[in-house]
Structure 1
């Protein structure tokens, strides 16, 4: 079952998400298109599309994209971004990945999750996709890069910001109407158990530069630090974050090697 509070996970964050969340490098989408042999007939689904972060670059490489999200604010932002990009090959659906059969998805070759797979009932989604995707179809997960020891690459200010957030909201990471804990079973294990055990991993590094305002904008885009969680203390929270980041990392700008990862999972018997 999809999370009952999925709609409120990112309520009120769509503008900040579209403005401040980093996208993925062109090299990542070029690699995906090459590995999966995109052509003008290829139709890809972007599940949990948000404001179109992956949908738009996918649409520039595939024949068509089906963009799905449970949050209407995110879909509105994605439609606006699509219009600005001058693209006409993205279709939008309001709904959950778990309920894909109810959304009249049509034929789909591959599906992409851009930092959204962990918000789903992963095993149920993989089982559903196993019935929808053709033999050569792939499930693609995009996300932050990992170190050789498996830890997420973090922003240099994350620890300082975490301490501030916990001082305001407590130690548990907030998510929707509840809290969020990292799944005990990794994504690749879930994919393998669902029949998509032929897995390729790709890493990408991109040099970025952010100022302090951008770092604060990122705070506004996260479910665990959305404005609605703080009531009338949100300005105090952002002021405290600004002070903590400046103390830990200086006044900026911050030049960072941003790490991104792509996992392509296919059935072992696919050609």
Structure 2
């Protein structure tokens, strides 16, 4: 069954600076386990697809001879390019392209990763393309981490209420396609990979505590596709004031602590 939900393009336009500064890095234990589980050789090529500003490409790069960092947003790739140039990373190749139209040769990659983005793609098409891009025995990891408004702490519930209220107020609810959760329940990501021809290896999960300031939460929200700067517009100051008024009473020290969940689903291309 083909995916029935589709995100419009350019949802992250203008968010790269916030994305780079306020998105949490993937935890070191997750990255170490992923390198071990995918049995990388140290001399292969990595594909970070829908890479954002390189939250997976950069920390995984020491384990590869070459890295492709691919995103359809030019601002994201410009940030990746600037970071790579500043670090003297000549083996990192920034590419502006959607996942669905990327031009890559069969068997090009030893490991492919997608961070917090597979649900935004044409999953079945991209899974088939990834299978072809990987060499025999190569791995695909679907990585994700939780968002601060999805937890059960009082401040997280209040934050979710603020975000929902402002999405309605700014008529912005259509940026998230209707039926997205239903489509993923009907055909979970591991099933998509299995139908494409992957051997599903399994999931590795991790947790870690993180404390946010109000400024960091506001910046993180501006890195999202549903309330980026382009949507907040001239209401940004009013949003910040509402956020502060709602959350300040819920913290004695100005910090908002959550247990962040992160994980990856690993799949393997048969030999």
Q: TM-score range by the shorter chain?
A: 0.7 to 0.9
Aligned residues: 261
Question: Residue 26 of structure 2 corresponds to which residue in structure 1?
Answer: 24
Question: Residue 175 of structure 2 corresponds to which residue in structure 1?
Answer: 175
Closer, same or farther: CA 72–219 of 1 in aligned 2, 3 Å: same
Contact kept, 8 Å, 1:166 with 1:172, in 2: the verdict is: no
Structure-1-length-normalised TM-score = 0.85
Q: Does 1:136 align with 2:133?
A: no
- Alpha-carbon RMSD across the aligned residues, in angstroms, is 2.8
- Equivalent position to 2:191, from 165, 189, 192: 189
Q: Which string of whole-angstrom CA distances, capped at 9 and with x for unpartnered residues, describes residues 94-125 of structure 1?
A: 1011112x356872122100111111000000
Structure-2-length-normalised TM-score = 0.85
Question: Residue 223 of structure 1 corresponds to which residue in structure 2?
Answer: 225
Question: Residue 8 of structure 2 corresponds to which residue in structure 1?
Answer: 5
Closer, same or farther: CA 155–115 of 1 in aligned 2, 3 Å: farther
Give the deviation of 1:180 after TM superposition.
Answer: 7.7
What are the ranges of 5 or more consecutive residues in structure 1 without an aligned counterpart?
147-151
Contact kept, 8 Å, 1:141 with 1:263, in 2: the verdict is: yes
Q: Secondary structure at the match of 1:9?
A: coil
Q: Which string of whole-angstrom CA distances, capped at 9 and with x for unpartnered residues, describes residues 34-81 of structure 1?
A: 112223321110000111111101112222211100000000111222
Q: Secondary structure at the match of 1:78?
A: helix
Of the structure 1 ranges 11-20 and 183-192, higher mean CA displacement relative to structure 2 is found in 183-192
For residues 73 and 179 of structure 1, the distance between their equivalents in structure 2, rounded to whole angstroms, comes to 27
Q: Does 1:238 align with 2:236?
A: no
What are the ranges of 5 or more consecutive residues in structure 2 without an aligned counterpart?
none
Contact kept, 8 Å, 1:174 with 1:225, in 2: the verdict is: no
- Equivalent position to 2:96, from 85, 94, 97: 94
Q: Secondary structure at the match of 1:91?
A: strand
Note the 1:200-211 alignment, pairs <5 A. Answer: 200-211=202-213
Question: Residue 125 of structure 2 corresponds to which residue in structure 1?
Answer: 124
Q: Which string of whole-angstrom CA distances, capped at 9 and with x for unpartnered residues, describes residues 186-207 of structure 1?
A: 2112112212242221112223
Question: Residue 212 of structure 1 corresponds to which residue in structure 2?
Answer: 214
